[in-house]
Chain A
Amino acid sequence: MLELKDVNVHYGAIHAIHDVSLTVNDGEIVSLIGANGAGKTTILHTITGLKKSTSGSILYNGKDLTKVEPSKIITLGMAHVPEGRHIFPTMTVAENLEIGAYIRNNKEEIAKTLESVYEKFPRLKERRKQLAGTLSGGEQQMLAVGRAMMSKPDIILMDEPSMGLSPLLVKEIFKIIKEVHAAGITVLLVEQNAKMALSIADRAYVLETGRIAMSGDAKDLLNDPKVKKAYLGL
């Protein structure tokens, strides 16, 4: 469904991403793990066009994404949950979700999706008239995911969903990701919390200073001695 081939990205003179190739197949959860500054977010930004690649190709269902405007990416069925949640703080929860459905026009269909999002996140329904900035961190993350789901995407790119959350909420968020996946949405997950990310993923890639260091089945990586030592602290 999504295929990156030999992608290189530069920030000025700094070569941030070296020949990265990765694939995400239909219906998978794929995790991209790595330390701070490894280039995980840069890869997501390159996919959504927020950052331009210097070489390489990014194909999504056979379409070249490098030539698509960032605001048009979502119309292709790819939603992005940015790092740090980026909700609209002084708008209500309901308004946030409505903006998520911005690219859709059929009001009845939108209302249906809204119902299904509220069903998944009853907390958001309870607080639909509350200003989003007054939600707790976990609820804001739910809102960010819910907003992405409002566009009825085929794939969701998630950037550090566990960032800044308590261990209890981290578990909650990973449960949410599983539920999103159960709803038939493919997930590309970028995470620093390698243990959690590997435990829910089908496959994973390990990124080290801009290069793919390892890749494979998530369960295998979870038991790999090198990964254990470097990322799981075992």
Chain B
Amino acid sequence: MKMPKEKLISYLINLVGIVVLFLLFVALFQSGVLGSRTNYVKGIFTTACYTIVLVASLNLLVGILGEFSLGHAGFMSVGAYASAIFTNALAGKGLSDLALFVLALIIGGVAAGIAGLLVGIPALRLRGDYLAIVTVAFAEIIRVAFCNFAITGGGRTISGITKLSNFYWCFWVMVICVTIMYMFVRSRFGRTVKAIREDYIAAAASGINVTFYKVLTFTISAFFAGIGGAMYAHYMTAMIPTNFNFNYSAELLTEVIIGGTGSFTGSIIGAAFLSSLPELMRQFSNYRMLAYSIVLVIVMIFRPGGIFGSWEFSLVRVLKKAKNGELFAKKNKGGAENE
């Protein structure tokens, strides 16, 4: 509201931070430091990018609206299948790869958003555990339906999806998605939704249409989950409905909670870390599920609100501290976060 100039500067600083981070990645991959492992590492980072979008979108529900969804993989699969069917129909029809990719993302997002709206309107009269059960049921219905529709491969693997997701594009899609979600949370809408989370009676007494905002947030969350699903489909190039099972939904929820409910910094780092952890621990493959569970238990004992709680990383704050000489040897992690 006030000091728009300062706001503009902080946006610019963040943009520069993100570009620098991006160039670091480009340098890493172009320099050949990683040798024959370049593509492997790129793949892990791409996985991290779409996982971040998925986890951040789930965080909108869990952290901001305060409702649990155990069916986020369901929305993801709607986006994944819708976009895959779309690109399979249009591939080789003269559209450039980038245009096709962007369109596929939008199709995936819109399809999942519509699914979110359809589930949200009846389901959001419920709260807490009951809503969580409905979301589980929804994801299961979607999975079973996709196992039986001919257009989705009828339970067999749908393969040959054009490979459009690469790390560079996914990075920017991730940045754009997270920025939009972050701006949503910081806006008047975000504050309104938080008020509903805090006390829905008082929110209604203040003139807030509680159901409308709940459905809206649910739809937005599903929309971004669909985009994440579209990125997934065009990265994997092949998928089967059982990929999007309850375990996957639970994994996403775990990443939100480990990172910190309500913190996008937490979602980004939680998703990036936990999605690459299984790869990093490949040499201990026998023990990695054990390590994973131990990490979860330790975090829940010592940081029940998640590693970051609801704290947000701010590049501007770090720079200010650095200017005043208050910053010690701290390096900034997760530079994709924006003030």
Contacts A71-B210, A89-B198, A107-B1 hold; do A102 and B204 have CB atoms under 8 A apart? no
Contacts A82-B201, A82-B202, A107-B1 hold; do A71 and B207 have CB atoms under 8 A apart? yes
Contact check, A95 vs B191: say whether CB atoms are below 8 A apart: yes
Contact check, A91 vs B194: say whether CB atoms are below 8 A apart: yes
Contact check, A99 vs B191: say whether CB atoms are below 8 A apart: yes
CB distance from A129 to the nearest CB of B (A): 15
B206 on interface, CB distance cutoff 8 Å: yes
Q: Which of A136-154 contact B (CB under 8 A)?
A: 144, 147, 151
Mark contacts of B189-200 with chain A using CB atoms, 8 A cut-off: 1 yes-contact digit, 0 otherwise.
001101100110
Contact check, B194 vs A88: say whether CB atoms are below 8 A apart: yes
Mark contacts of B239-274 with chain A using CB atoms, 8 A cut-off: 1 yes-contact digit, 0 otherwise.
000000000000000000000000000000000000
Q: Bound state CA distance, A50 and B194, in angstroms?
A: 21
B30 on interface, CB distance cutoff 8 Å: no
Contact check, B207 vs A87: say whether CB atoms are below 8 A apart: no
Nearest CB in chain A to that of B262: its residue: A90
Q: Which residues of A contact B195 (CB under 8 A)?
A: 88, 91, 99
Contacts A86-B199, A91-B198, A99-B195 hold; do A147 and B206 have CB atoms under 8 A apart? yes
Contact check, A71 vs B202: say whether CB atoms are below 8 A apart: no
Interface centre among A70, A82, A86, A144 (most CB of B within 10 A): A86
CB distance from A204 to the nearest CB of B (A): 24
Q: Which of B175-195 contact A (CB under 8 A)?
A: 191-192, 194-195
Q: How many residues of A contact B (CB 8 A)?
A: 28
Q: Which of A63-115 contact B (CB under 8 A)?
A: 69-75, 79-80, 82, 86-91, 95, 98-100, 102-103, 107
Nearest CB in chain A to that of B195: its residue: A99
A48 on interface, CB distance cutoff 8 Å: yes
B209 on interface, CB distance cutoff 8 Å: yes
Contacts A98-B191, A102-B192 hold; do A75 and B198 have CB atoms under 8 A apart? no
Contact check, A71 vs B209: say whether CB atoms are below 8 A apart: yes
Q: How many residues of B contact A (CB 8 A)?
A: 17
Q: Which residues of B contact A144 (CB under 8 A)?
A: 202
B203 on interface, CB distance cutoff 8 Å: yes
Contact check, A99 vs B192: say whether CB atoms are below 8 A apart: yes
CB distance from B211 to the nearest CB of A (A): 9
Contact check, B205 vs A88: say whether CB atoms are below 8 A apart: no
Contact check, B206 vs A87: say whether CB atoms are below 8 A apart: no
Contact check, B201 vs A99: say whether CB atoms are below 8 A apart: no
Q: Which residues of B contact A71 (CB under 8 A)?
A: 204, 207-210
Interface centre among B194, B201, B205 (most CB of A within 10 A): B205
Contact check, A102 vs B202: say whether CB atoms are below 8 A apart: no
Interface centre among B192, B199, B206 (most CB of A within 10 A): B206
Contact check, B205 vs A75: say whether CB atoms are below 8 A apart: no
Nearest CB in chain A to that of B194: its residue: A91
| Among B1, B203, B209, B210, contact of A99 (Cβ-Cβ < 8 Å) | B203
Q: Bound state CA distance, A71 and B213, in angstroms?
A: 12
CB distance from A65 to the nearest CB of B (A): 14
Q: Bound state CA distance, A70 and B202, in angstroms?
A: 11
Q: Bound state CA distance, A99 and B207, in angstroms?
A: 9
Q: Which residues of A contact B207 (CB under 8 A)?
A: 71-75, 102-103, 151
Q: Which of B50-97 contact A (CB under 8 A)?
A: none
Q: Which of B1-51 contact A (CB under 8 A)?
A: 1
Nearest CB in chain A to that of B202: its residue: A86
Contact check, A99 vs B204: say whether CB atoms are below 8 A apart: no
Q: Which residues of A contact B206 (CB under 8 A)?
A: 74, 99-100, 102-103, 147, 151
Q: Bound state CA distance, A100 and B207, in angstroms?
A: 8
Q: Bound state CA distance, A45 and B302, in angstroms?
A: 43
Q: Which residues of A contact B205 (CB under 8 A)?
A: 48, 70, 74, 79-80, 82, 86
Q: Which residues of B contact A79 (CB under 8 A)?
A: 205
Q: Which residues of A contact B204 (CB under 8 A)?
A: 50, 70-71
Nearest CB in chain A to that of B196: its residue: A88
| Among A73, A87, A95, A151, contact of B202 (Cβ-Cβ < 8 Å) | A87
Contacts A102-B192, A107-B1 hold; do A87 and B208 have CB atoms under 8 A apart? no
Q: Which residues of B contact A86 (CB under 8 A)?
A: 199, 201-202, 205
Where the two chains meet, the residues of B that have a C-beta atom closer than 8 Å to any C-beta of A are 1, 191-192, 194-195, 198-199, 201-210
Give 6 nearest A-B pairs by CB, closest first: A88-B198, A86-B202, A74-B207, A103-B207, A80-B205, A99-B195
- Extra inter-chain contacts (16) besides given A74-B207, A86-B199, A102-B208, CB under 8 Å: A48-B205, A50-B201, A69-B209, A74-B205, A79-B205, A86-B205, A87-B199, A88-B194, A88-B199, A89-B199, A91-B194, A91-B195, A91-B198, A100-B206, A102-B207, A103-B207
A sample of 7 inter-chain contacts (CB < 8 A) reads A48-B205, A82-B205, A88-B198, A91-B195, A99-B208, A102-B207, A144-B202
